[in-house]
Structure 1
Amino acid sequence: MSSNLHPMLNVAIKAARAAGAIINRAALDVEAVRVSVKQTNDFVTEVDQNAEAAIIETLLTAYPGHGILAEESGSEHGAKDSEFVWIIDPLDGTTNFIHGFPFYCVSIALAVRGKVEQAVVYDPNRNDIYSASKGRGAYVNDRRIRVAKRTRLQETLISTGFPYRPGDKLKPYLNMLGEVMSQCAGVRRPGAAALDLAHVAAGNSDGFFESGLKPWDVAAGSLLVTEAGGLIGNFTGEADFMDHGECVAANPRIYGQLVATLAKYSKFAGAGDKATVRQALQDARAEPAGAENNTEGSEGPASVVAEKATLKARKIKAQPAADSGAPDAPF
């Protein structure tokens, strides 16, 4: 990694690597790992807990006055009233991990006064560090990454996450999935939202959507996407999505088209959305060629396309997601 990284990002990378070392050691004999069930199909292992402890120890040793919001221990550690809060998922993709399926990651983000400013997603299988500091771009290892440039939804590869908890609304999701599948080239369900978002930022997939998410699933990935020139929000296109439990991310042109498709499935959707999302989709597809290339910053035509699409899909008064940098944290 580059030596001119933000000091807090360097500490986050150190913490992610410490967690990754614990995960990789355990992966050598995954059948020996003790697994507990939080609820049906929702697992936690001693690896999650040990990796989280290593992350928290590293972060609080460097910044003892900072707060912590972690998947397994919540806000038990760290300062309770700090403007600096680390949002941690020590092992995103636990179900993959305990089955030996090599798609899982460590996710660490720093929110300052509710805005994500530092982000690390570490893929221990590939030894890839995805990182971003607000306003300084997104990287994998030392290479700058950008969202994909495709502009037509029918040419895209989209990733998603399936409902798996008791009480999740499976039928509406299957309707939504069927609609997206019919409009794109392919849909994948890798099983770790933070790493899915990192791959959107790197241009390896064109977009991502999922419901039922928690802040630690998406905090770091959200900054990777926006710093790579993409947009991220809830299904109706609102940028302050982290406590909404739903997420869509893509480059600005594809984002507008996905929001036009997904908005009516949002728990925030109103009765008039069906007509407005159809118009939004038309607008997103009708924008002049070339707009998709202007994803650097937040003032180019590409972000205007997404702004028009999302405002029509949901009649809201909101800033463009790219302009806001990263979404509000839920505290």
Structure 2
Amino acid sequence: MIEASEMMETALEAAKGAGEIIMKYFDKEKQEITKGDVDYVTIADTECEKLIVSKIKEKFPDHNIITEESGDFEKSSDYVWLIDPLDGTANYVMEFPYFCTSIALKHKGETLLGVVYEPLVDLLFTAEKGKGAFVNGKRMQVSKTRNLNDSVMVLGVYKGYVKKIGKWDNTKNIFSRVMDNVRDFRRTGSSVLDFCYIALGKFDARIWFGKPTPWDPPAGELMIREAGGKVMDFKNNELSEESEGFIASNGLVHNELLKIVKEEW
């Protein structure tokens, strides 16, 4: 097996390089096209992806790579890199300051490492399996909030998918019950950063309604687990292609949220 430190160094270099590209275009007019129901893609997305992929291919030419914009670069390897070059593109287009780059590496289906860089505030989130989660070198830990009515929640929904599977009314019912039972809630526009801020203890939990993408959850999911939290789907299973949504939390409010979801979903 390749040394984890070498792979982490590559991910760090790629994420920081992508951050420079993101900031180069941040306050300039952006050309964007609609991608799907609510997503956008900009020149920053495509340039970041090219840079990240090139750095990975340079060091690990035989590894598989899956990216949000270009899809799969298939090789016959047990290693798979999962890349979202710019998560929160809609925020970025509107110059709303909540977006990041996300890179994760899996080996035989197990996430080994995750790197998330939030360039606007120069926050570098890192995690390695079994070694903890950190922000700018400082260890992260999830919040100690025990009761749902004391919690700050993040909510997210892929409306097109939820409507397609006939769960829109169920989703609205869960939204309503959650909002009635928490201290406060947010809708941010960057699922990856939501994961990171749960790991950091700033948010207590997040519910996502919709099928998880291959590239968004892995890095942030590892952050939460390494910081002491929990990420499970609506059936309380590990995330998979069959998952219709998931709960990410500090672990302490998980069961209360899961009860609401199971009763309504």
2:224 is the alignment partner of 1:229: no
Once residues 131 and 61 of structure 1 are traced to their aligned partners in structure 2, the CA distance between those partners, rounded to angstroms, is 22
Gap regions ≥5 residues in structure 2:
none
Deviation at 1:173, TM superposition (A): 1.8
Alpha-carbon distance change, 85 to 200 in structure 1, aligned in 2, over 3 angstroms: same
Deviation at 1:161, TM superposition (A): 1.1
- Structure 1 residues 170-179 or 201-210, which shifts more? 170-179
2:233 is the alignment partner of 1:238: no
| Partner residue, 1:152 | 147
| Partner residue, 1:123 | 118
Gap regions ≥5 residues in structure 1:
267-331
2:11 is the alignment partner of 1:27: no
Contact kept? 2:27, 2:95, Cα under 8 Å = no
| Partner residue, 2:6 | 7
Deviation at 1:164, TM superposition (A): 4.2
Q: For this pair of structures, how many residues does the alignment match? A: 259
Output aligned runs, 1:1-331, within 5 Å.
6-29=5-28, 32-75=29-72, 77=73, 79-165=74-160, 167=163, 169-212=167-210, 213-241=212-240, 244-266=243-265
Once residues 61 and 47 of structure 2 are traced to their aligned partners in structure 1, the CA distance between those partners, rounded to angstroms, is 19
> What secondary structure does 1:215 align onto?
coil
Q: TM-score, normalised by structure 1?
A: 0.74
Once residues 204 and 218 of structure 1 are traced to their aligned partners in structure 2, the CA distance between those partners, rounded to angstroms, is 18
Q: Please give the root-mean-square deviation of Cα atoms over the aligned residues, in Å.
A: 1.8
Deviation at 1:172, TM superposition (A): 2.3
Contact kept? 2:234, 2:245, Cα under 8 Å = yes
Alpha-carbon distance change, 243 to 104 in structure 1, aligned in 2, over 3 angstroms: farther
> What secondary structure does 1:148 align onto?
coil
Deviation at 1:51, TM superposition (A): 0.7
Once residues 129 and 242 of structure 2 are traced to their aligned partners in structure 1, the CA distance between those partners, rounded to angstroms, is 20
Deviations 1:134-192 (A, max 9, x none): 00000001100000001011000011113344745543222111111111101101110
> What secondary structure does 2:252 align onto?
helix
Alpha-carbon distance change, 219 to 110 in structure 1, aligned in 2, over 3 angstroms: same
Once residues 15 and 242 of structure 2 are traced to their aligned partners in structure 1, the CA distance between those partners, rounded to angstroms, is 24
Once residues 89 and 173 of structure 2 are traced to their aligned partners in structure 1, the CA distance between those partners, rounded to angstroms, is 27
Deviation at 1:116, TM superposition (A): 0.7
> What secondary structure does 1:239 align onto?
coil
Contact kept? 2:239, 2:246, Cα under 8 Å = no
Deviation at 1:34, TM superposition (A): 1.2
Contact kept? 2:104, 2:111, Cα under 8 Å = yes
- Structure 1 residues 35-44 or 136-145, which shifts more? 35-44
Once residues 194 and 236 of structure 2 are traced to their aligned partners in structure 1, the CA distance between those partners, rounded to angstroms, is 19
More contact order relative to length (CA 8 Å, sep ≥ 6): 2
> What secondary structure does 2:17 align onto?
helix
Deviation at 1:227, TM superposition (A): 0.3
Once residues 223 and 241 of structure 2 are traced to their aligned partners in structure 1, the CA distance between those partners, rounded to angstroms, is 14
Q: Residue type of the partner of 1:65?
A: D
Q: TM-score, normalised by structure 2?
A: 0.92
Once residues 229 and 131 of structure 1 are traced to their aligned partners in structure 2, the CA distance between those partners, rounded to angstroms, is 14
Alpha-carbon distance change, 83 to 245 in structure 1, aligned in 2, over 3 angstroms: farther
| Partner residue, 1:320 | none
> What secondary structure does 2:154 align onto?
strand
Overall identity of the aligned pairs, in %: 33
Q: Residue type of the partner of 2:148?
A: L
Deviation at 1:262, TM superposition (A): 1.4
